[in-house]
Structure 1
Amino acid sequence: MPLTPSSPARRRTSAALLASAVSVCLVAASAPAVPLGVGDRLFPHLGNPGYDVASYDLSFTYPGTNSEPLRAVTTIDAWVTADLDRINLDFAHGKVDSVEVDGDPARFRTAGEDLVITPEDAVSDDTWMRITVRHTSDPVPAEGREGGWVRTGDGLAMANQADAAHLVFPCNDHPSDKAMFTIRVTAPDGHTAVANGLPAGVERAGGKTTWTYRTRHPMATELTQVSIGRSTVLHRTGPHGLPVRDVVPTRYREALEPWLEKTPAQIAWMENKVGRYPFETYGVLAADASTGFELETQTLSLFERELFTEPVYPAWYVESIMVHELAHQWFGDSVTPRTWSDLWLNEGHATWYEALYAEEEAGKPMRDRMKLAYGASDRWRRAGGPPAAPKAPEPGHKTDIFRPNVYDGAALVLYALRQEIGGPAFERLQRAWVNRHQDGTAGTQDFVRLAAEISGRDLDDFFQGWLYGEKTPPMPGHPDWKPEDPGKPGKPAKPVAAAVSGRGGAR
């Protein structure tokens, strides 16, 4: 049985999203296997139609080195939403040893980046199914692919955004299909494993230890996190008794502590802005790796260790990036984008609270940052598309969707909205957004409708220009603000995350 059954309302939402793709899934067993998708505009082959995952049970056995494949078992419990002769999973970087559907062996083959499963008997609409895949999970990067396992100085971590969870385990790799997770990791003694959620048991035998973690809230596959290494887990308490645990390379424990002790106060700051922290725990994973970004993996955000330990970055910047990833726990993790074109809702809000924190705690005026962003906005739109209609990434560069137009460009939309409807209505909107859609998925039109409801105004024309226009509209309240001439060369006004660090910054 699945860990938690999917509600009828959630099944209806998923079914509506997948309806356009379901028909191609109902194929005869003799037809060629083909990769499928849910029709995402930016990632057309991500996700799969015909089912709604309720839970994942992931088991990894780490061999003690980050250059050899892990043995793994992935068990998926899902609600079937169409009669299926075949079941497609996203999986592209490991060897499959066997597949079972409801306990019976099933045939399988690959097609593109899909694992295509043919059960002995078709599975029927409106029933539960369990898929068990025994496979390997390869930490050596796939040629021409970004993401998946991150090899650290003492083990492994994960960075699955946007389309790389299926480089680690078979899944329905689209944020519209959130599920509960149980994660088990077995590693040689001397290593420590930590994953999303809370501990659910530790077993030691034969020189190895198995750690089990479970989530208490549904999670998108791109937010999965597993840390394996010679690590220390630090414990502290956040607001309302929230357990806060950080995972750090043991030899850097002392150097990292002054930064990590700031987290409880940062959580309290965010709660004051938008309401109660939405999950069962939080913490920082300081990975000994150079990734070029930080990442909001659910309940355990991934950071480069050097962000904290290298004397390159101003303290206010480091703290604001910590808040960026923390803000994502509300915006992106708890309220997850329905499609990847809705990414601006994640990154725009995280950038907003990053900038607001820098203003309130370090005296860095948001108005100045937004004026710079306004000057660059036309250029960002031309290069990457408007915030809610970003250009598709180039083949082999899937993370190119993380452009300035969805960071400071999207935060600029929020600044304009606050100017348009006023601060009190804007703050009510932020709280209502995370409360109404907690643990769910939501898209741009949901935000547009809620903004109209909260403000009591028709905002369709406002949002049409700010979210979809090729040119940046005039800024309410600032008629003097002018966009740069995109035809003239000039110093780019990058998001702070990129401008200060020279890296990719926060995601």
Structure 2
Amino acid sequence: MLLIPRPRPPRPRTRRTKAALLASAASVCLIAASAPNPAASLGIGDRLFPNLGNPGYDVESYDLAFTYPGTNTKPLTAVTTIDAVTSSRLERINLDFARGTVGSVQVNGAPAAFTRDGEDLIVTPEKPVPVGNWMRITVHHTSDPVAAKDQDGGWVQTKDGLAMANQADAAHLVFPCNDHPSDKAKFTIHVTAPSGYTAVANGLPAGAERARRSTTWTYRTEHPMATELAQVSIGRSSVLHRTGPHGLPVRDVVPTKDREQLEPWLKKTPDQIAWMEGKVGRYPFETYGLLMAQAQTGFELETQTLSLFEKGIFTEPAYPKWYVESIMVHELSHQWFGDSVSPHTWSDLWLNEGHATWYEALYAEEKAHKPMEDRMKAAYRASDSWRAAGGPPAAPKGPKPGQKISIFRPNVYDGAALALYALRQEIGRPAFERLERTWVSVHRDGVASTTDFVDLASAVAARDLSGFFQAWLYGEKTPPMPGHPDWKSDPPKARKGS
């Protein structure tokens, strides 16, 4: 995600090595189902979102079916089918689901009782599900695009339909799920929409069944995906096709009336993919493209294989060309950092945004002659203020009430990129570049933590870097910059009322 202030353009911010170093937790911490009050919200204990995620099972796949009524102000009818493996005996199954009405639930084909508690849907199957068993949960429900005042994210209402923006804690506003990035799964998505609409989702098309007055579109992902990265576009759109490196299919979704105006931007994507591959290795998924939404969200979002952009980013003359291109690279780089390699907890968000900001800045340096060093020196000056306001990069402060995306502060963007710059200064460019390639290769299609990054960096550098990272990622004050002892950080400004 890249937050875009309005209305003035902002400064850009936008298996296979030693086994002992590669122990990344690829699924949620699993807790016994015998909670003191099992018919209640559980959560896996994420520091920033303690009620997010659910213990006791690991999702393998989602099958989502939405029927769009032809207006974006009414609920969609939906069926969500979840295939999962239990890690403990489950008398009750918790799903994250906060917006929409549930009609019925089945577990392994049998009707199941259900109740709601906060943002959890709590399902009681006819019989407890034993540990180590497959289970299929089918939920018939509605999916409501009209947001409650105290909820942000989920469906985005566009001028001609809908799109999704589920980061960070919002996929469960659209469909029942285990809504934490540490539990990734494959997705099949079906969308039925009236004639005249086009539906596109993550992954590759798997058929379109046309009826008299509607079409059902099906898409499937070939790689596991975090729930926060799910995307569905419904609108009066055109899908534009081109070819990327190695024959990669690239498809963009744009308002039909704007396709010619947007084409000069869209045709840049294949070269940008090739540029990223030159830095970190082969693109990790089956397809890529941009979704141009006629909406004002205030951000761009790296939904897997189909990044969400406001159309206005590309049509607002105040934004310089080099700046718009660097934003495109920011979201593209997330396909490696954040999508293919997902955060183990939300405190590991800096690994997503710091790297996306790094490659955004590196692209601007190489293509538009905007020196990385100048940007990092400016970031260094502001770093102590960012740490005071939002916490250090790897220990960000929690979100403000009712503002879940407020964890996306400068400390996890340029503040985290500054830590990567310091690392490159510390270990040298060749080792840093080798680390980047190894990171996305080793953890491809998985999840990884800050500890995993520290361990791998130490292995690549052939020395213990834990002290270096402790200061840069967790310190209240910004450490001295290697190679730049003259750089200074401005003292944090006193807050009003302090």
Tell me how far apart the structure 2 counterparts of residues 163 and 285 of structure 1 sit (CA, whole Å).
21
Q: Is this contact kept in 2: 1:280–1:299, CA < 8 A?
A: yes
Matched position secondary structure for 1:18: coil
Tell me how far apart the structure 2 counterparts of residues 129 and 102 of structure 1 sit (CA, whole Å).
6
1:42 aligns with 2:48: yes
Q: CA deviation at 1:266?
A: 0.2
Name the counterpart of 1:407: 413
1:215 aligns with 2:221: yes
1:206 aligns with 2:209: no
Runs of 4+ in 1 over 4 A off after TM superposition: none
Runs of 5+ unmatched residues, structure 1: 1-9, 490-507
Matched position secondary structure for 1:55: strand
Please tell me the residue identity of whatever aligns with 1:458: D
1:316 aligns with 2:322: yes
Structure 1 residues 309 and 487: alpha-carbon distance in aligned structure 2, compared to 1, 3 A threshold: closer
Please tell me the residue identity of whatever aligns with 1:214: R
Q: Is this contact kept in 2: 1:27–1:85, CA < 8 A?
A: no
Match of 1:432 among 431, 434, 438: 438
Tell me how far apart the structure 1 counterparts of residues 23 and 186 of structure 2 sit (CA, whole Å).
15
Cα deviation, 1:256-280, whole Å, max 9, x if unaligned, reads 0000000000000000000000000
Tell me how far apart the structure 2 counterparts of residues 377 and 280 of structure 1 sit (CA, whole Å).
38
Output the aligned Cα RMSD: 1.4
Structure 1 residues 456 and 71: alpha-carbon distance in aligned structure 2, compared to 1, 3 A threshold: same
1:373 aligns with 2:366: no
Q: CA deviation at 1:206?
A: 2.5
Structure 1 residues 199 and 412: alpha-carbon distance in aligned structure 2, compared to 1, 3 A threshold: same
Q: Is this contact kept in 2: 1:285–1:301, CA < 8 A?
A: yes
1:293 aligns with 2:304: no
Q: Is this contact kept in 1: 2:25–2:344, CA < 8 A?
A: no
Bigger mean CA offset, 306-315 vs 264-273: 306-315
Name the counterpart of 1:108: 114
Q: CA deviation at 1:310?
A: 1.7
Q: Is this contact kept in 2: 1:377–1:483, CA < 8 A?
A: yes
Q: CA deviation at 1:13?
A: 3.9
Matches within 5 A, 1:226-237: 226-237=232-243
Q: CA deviation at 1:485?
A: 2.0
1:266 aligns with 2:277: no
Matched position secondary structure for 1:72: strand
1:152 aligns with 2:152: no
Runs of 5+ unmatched residues, structure 2: 1-21
Q: Is this contact kept in 2: 1:196–1:224, CA < 8 A?
A: yes
Q: CA deviation at 1:36?
A: 1.0
Tell me how far apart the structure 2 counterparts of residues 72 and 11 of structure 1 sit (CA, whole Å).
38
Q: Is this contact kept in 2: 1:232–1:253, CA < 8 A?
A: yes
Tell me how far apart the structure 2 counterparts of residues 392 and 98 of structure 1 sit (CA, whole Å).
35
1:334 aligns with 2:345: no
Q: CA deviation at 1:33?
A: 1.9
Tell me how far apart the structure 2 counterparts of residues 380 and 180 of structure 1 sit (CA, whole Å).
37
Q: Is this contact kept in 2: 1:26–1:86, CA < 8 A?
A: no
Tell me how far apart the structure 1 counterparts of residues 121 and 164 of structure 2 sit (CA, whole Å).
21
Tell me how far apart the structure 2 counterparts of residues 32 and 266 of structure 1 sit (CA, whole Å).
49
Matches within 5 A, 1:156-171: 156-171=162-177
Structure 1 residues 70 and 435: alpha-carbon distance in aligned structure 2, compared to 1, 3 A threshold: same
Cα deviation, 1:109-162, whole Å, max 9, x if unaligned, reads 100100000001000100100000000000111221110000001000000000
1 or 2, which has the higher helix percentage? 1
Matched position secondary structure for 2:300: coil
Cα deviation, 1:403-429, whole Å, max 9, x if unaligned, reads 000000000000000000000000000
Matched position secondary structure for 1:376: helix
1:26 aligns with 2:34: yes
Q: CA deviation at 1:242?
A: 0.2
Please tell me the residue identity of whatever aligns with 1:26: S
Q: CA deviation at 1:32?
A: 6.5
Tell me how far apart the structure 2 counterparts of residues 184 and 409 of structure 1 sit (CA, whole Å).
40
TM-score, normalised via structure 2 length? 0.94
Match of 2:196 among 190, 199, 216: 190
1:388 aligns with 2:394: yes
Match of 2:262 among 256, 259, 269: 256
Tell me how far apart the structure 2 counterparts of residues 239 and 248 of structure 1 sit (CA, whole Å).
22
Tell me how far apart the structure 1 counterparts of residues 61 and 251 of structure 2 sit (CA, whole Å).
24
Tell me how far apart the structure 2 counterparts of residues 366 and 18 of structure 1 sit (CA, whole Å).
39
Name the counterpart of 1:98: 104
1:364 aligns with 2:370: yes
1:419 aligns with 2:425: yes
Name the counterpart of 1:224: 230
Name the counterpart of 1:284: 290
Q: CA deviation at 1:397?
A: 1.1
Matches within 5 A, 1:48-67: 48-67=54-73
Q: Is this contact kept in 1: 2:26–2:447, CA < 8 A?
A: no
Name the counterpart of 2:464: 458
Please tell me the residue identity of whatever aligns with 1:448: V
Q: Is this contact kept in 2: 1:230–1:249, CA < 8 A?
A: yes
Q: Is this contact kept in 2: 1:109–1:115, CA < 8 A?
A: yes
Name the counterpart of 2:354: 348
Cα deviation, 1:411-454, whole Å, max 9, x if unaligned, reads 00000000000000000000000000000000000000000000
Matches within 5 A, 1:478-493: 478-487=484-493
Structure 1 residues 32 and 124: alpha-carbon distance in aligned structure 2, compared to 1, 3 A threshold: closer
Tell me how far apart the structure 2 counterparts of residues 381 and 40 of structure 1 sit (CA, whole Å).
21
Q: CA deviation at 1:65?
A: 0.3
Tell me how far apart the structure 2 counterparts of residues 202 and 404 of structure 1 sit (CA, whole Å).
43
Matched position secondary structure for 1:383: helix
Tell me how far apart the structure 1 counterparts of residues 23 and 365 of structure 2 sit (CA, whole Å).
42
Q: Is this contact kept in 2: 1:188–1:208, CA < 8 A?
A: yes
Q: CA deviation at 1:394?
A: 1.8
Structure 1 residues 98 and 321: alpha-carbon distance in aligned structure 2, compared to 1, 3 A threshold: same
Q: CA deviation at 1:291?
A: 0.4
TM-score, normalised via structure 1 length? 0.92
Tell me how far apart the structure 1 counterparts of residues 279 and 29 of structure 2 sit (CA, whole Å).
35
Tell me how far apart the structure 2 counterparts of residues 251 and 457 of structure 1 sit (CA, whole Å).
57
- Percent identity over the alignment is 74
Tell me how far apart the structure 2 counterparts of residues 460 and 427 of structure 1 sit (CA, whole Å).
19
Q: Is this contact kept in 2: 1:193–1:229, CA < 8 A?
A: yes
Matched position secondary structure for 2:84: strand
Structure 1 residues 14 and 335: alpha-carbon distance in aligned structure 2, compared to 1, 3 A threshold: closer
Q: Is this contact kept in 1: 2:384–2:478, CA < 8 A?
A: yes
Tell me how far apart the structure 2 counterparts of residues 426 and 142 of structure 1 sit (CA, whole Å).
45
Please tell me the residue identity of whatever aligns with 1:131: I
Cα deviation, 1:357-390, whole Å, max 9, x if unaligned, reads 0000000001000000000000000000000000
Please tell me the residue identity of whatever aligns with 1:64: G
Matched position secondary structure for 1:290: coil
